[in-house]
Amino acid sequence: MKFSMIFEAQMADPTAAHEAQVLRDCVEQAVLADQVGFDTVWAVEHHGLKWYAHMSAPEIFLTWVAAQTSRIRIGHGVVCMPFNFNHPVRAAERAAMLDVLSGGRLNLGAGRGATAVETSMCGVDPERTQQEVEESLRMIAAAWQDPDGEFEYHGELLDIGPHHLLPRPVQRPHPPLFMACTRKDTLRQAAEYGIGALVLGFAGIEEIAELRRIYDEAIAARTGERFVSTVVNDHFAALCPTIVLDDRERARRIGARGQRFFAQSIKYYYGAGPVPDEAVDPAADEMARMREAADEHVAYLHEAKIPVKTGATAIFNTEHAYGTAEDAIAYVERLAAAGADEILCLIQMGTVPQEACLETIRQWGEKVIPHFRDSRPSREPVVPNEREGSRNG
C-alpha cells in the first residue's frame, strides 16, 4: 500500500496575495509529507480555472518540492498532453530533467485538460484530445527507452524524423506512466495501454470497487497490442478526501465545507461554465452564486460523482476519511479491500486552513500510515518490471 498527496492549489479567495500564499503553503505541506513518510506528492495541471485550481505550472512546483526533499516521489498528476498544452517533446524533456535532478523520483501521468475554459484558452481541439494523449504517451515512452536518446516517431498526428531527446531519465527504461481516469472508458484505455490509473472516489467505497473491477477486467482481456511501452504498470491509485484532527467533529466540519467548495467548483467548470468574477468572502457562504448552477446533491467531473449536499446526513461526512486517525484507518482499510494500491490523499481544498492541512499530514504520518506498514519508507524508487504488471508504481 502506497500513500500520497495531490495538490490543486485551490482557493476560495483568489486574490494575487492569497494565491501566492497558497502556493507557498502547498510547498510546506509537501515538505512535511516527505518528512512524515508519504510516498508521493502529485500535482495537477489546470489553466484559467480561477475557483478550482491555480496549479498551472506543476513542473515548476514539483521541481521546487524536489529540491527541498530527499525521499518522496514526485508525481505529475497529470501533464495535459494535447499538443497545444504541451508538445510531447517538451513534456518529455522537462520530465526527464526533473527525473535526473530528483535522483530518479518521477512519476509521469497524462491527461486531457478537457474543460471548455482550458481548451479555448490554449487553442486545443476537444475532438482530438484523446488521440493526442495516446500519441504523446507512445512517443515519450519510445523516445525514453533508447539509451542514447535517439528516436523517431511516425504516427497519425505526429511525424518526427531522427532526433535526440535529451536529457535521458535516470529511471530505466523510463519513469512509471499513469493516466487520469475520470471516465470508465479512460480507465479501460489505461489498462489497455499498460499504465497506472489515477481515479476519483468521492462517491465512496462502492465506486472504487466498481472502478477496480473495470480496470481488472480490462487488464484480463487485453492482448498487449495497445501497450504504449515495453513496461507495464498496473497500478490503481484512488482519491481519499481527508481531514484528520483530534477533534472529530471539527475535522468533519472542515472536510465537509472543503468538499462542498471543491464539488461546486467542479460543477461550474465541468458543467455550467466559468464562475463570475465577483469577489467571494471565504468567511461567508462562499459558493452561493455557484449553488444556483449546481445540483443539490452531486456534481460530476466527467462520469465521476462528487457529493455537494452538506449537513448531518451528507454522504461524505461518514464515507470519507474525515475525523480522527482511527476514522481514517477504518476508511483506508475499506479502500484497500476495494482494491486500491495507493491512497491519494486530497487535503488541500479551497476552504481548508493551512493549520488543518499540516495537522492532517502529521496525523497520517504518525498514526495512519504506520498502521498499514513499517513507518520507515523505502528510499528506492519503484519502477515496473518489463511486461509484468506492477501494483507498486
pLDDT tens readout for residues 51-96: 999 999 999 999 999 999 999 999 999 999 999 999 999 999 999 9
Structure confidence at residue 390 (pLDDT): 43
What is the arithmetic mean of pLDDT over 153-177?
97
- pTM value is 0.87
What is the arithmetic mean of pLDDT over 131-142?
98
Structure confidence at residue 186 (pLDDT): 96
> CB of 254 within 8 A of CB of 99?
no
Task: Inform me whether the pLDDT recorded for 338 exceeds 90.
Answer: yes
Task: Inform me whether the pLDDT recorded for 283 exceeds 50.
Answer: no
Measured distance CA(53)–CA(49) in Å, rounded: 6
Structure confidence at residue 315 (pLDDT): 33
Task: Inform me whether the pLDDT recorded for 39 exceeds 50.
Answer: yes
Structure confidence at residue 130 (pLDDT): 96
Task: Inform me whether the pLDDT recorded for 382 exceeds 80.
Answer: no
Structure confidence at residue 271 (pLDDT): 73
User: Which residues does 60 contact at the CB level (< 8 Å), separation at least 6?
Assistant: none
Give the rounded distance of the alpha carbon of 343 from its chain centre. 11
Task: Inform me whether the pLDDT recorded for 195 exceeds 90.
Answer: yes
Structure confidence at residue 301 (pLDDT): 55
CA atoms in the 13 A half-sphere facing the CB of 46: 21
What is the arithmetic mean of pLDDT over 145-171?
96
Structure confidence at residue 374 (pLDDT): 60
Higher pLDDT, 44 or 290: 44
Q: Please report which confidence band the pLDDT of residue 268 belongs to, taking 50, 70 and 90 as the band edges.
A: confident
Structure confidence at residue 126 (pLDDT): 95
What is the arithmetic mean of pLDDT over 178-200?
97
Task: Inform me whether the pLDDT recorded for 286 exceeds 50.
Answer: no
Q: Please report which confidence band the pLDDT of residue 274 belongs to, taking 50, 70 and 90 as the band edges.
A: very low
What is the arithmetic mean of pLDDT over 210-224?
98
Structure confidence at residue 153 (pLDDT): 96
Structure confidence at residue 307 (pLDDT): 54
Summary mean pLDDT of the chain: 87
Angle at 361 between CA 359 and CA 367, to 5 degrees: 95
Structure confidence at residue 319 (pLDDT): 77
User: Which residues does 317 contact at the CB level (< 8 Å), separation at least 6?
Assistant: 252, 255, 256, 311
Other Cβ atoms less than 10 A from the Cβ of 213: the count is: 12
User: Which residues does 366 contact at the CB level (< 8 Å), separation at least 6?
Assistant: 36, 325
Pick from 219, 217, 296: which is nearest to 260 by CA?
Answer: 296
Structure confidence at residue 202 (pLDDT): 83
Asked whether the bond before 383 is cis by omega within 30 degrees of 0, the reply is no
Q: At what angle do helices 354-363 and 16-36 cross, to 10 degrees?
A: 10
Task: Inform me whether the pLDDT recorded for 389 exceeds 70.
Answer: no
What is the arithmetic mean of pLDDT over 12-24?
97
The percent of residues above 90 in pLDDT, for the chain, comes to 78
Task: Inform me whether the pLDDT recorded for 275 exceeds 90.
Answer: no
Q: At what angle do helices 354-363 and 248-267 cross, to 10 degrees?
A: 120
User: Which residues does 318 contact at the CB level (< 8 Å), separation at least 6?
Assistant: none
Task: Inform me whether the pLDDT recorded for 165 exceeds 90.
Answer: yes
Return the C-alpha cell found at 182.
475520470
Tell me which of 270-274, 320-324, 351-355 is least confident. Answer: 270-274
> CB of 148 within 8 A of CB of 218?
no
Structure confidence at residue 378 (pLDDT): 44
What is the arithmetic mean of pLDDT over 373-389?
46
Residue with cell 446526513: 313
What is the arithmetic mean of pLDDT over 168-183?
97
Pick from 166, 320, 144: which is nearest to 238 by CA?
Answer: 320
Name the maximum alpha-carbon separation found in the chain.
61
Task: Inform me whether the pLDDT recorded for 287 exceeds 90.
Answer: no
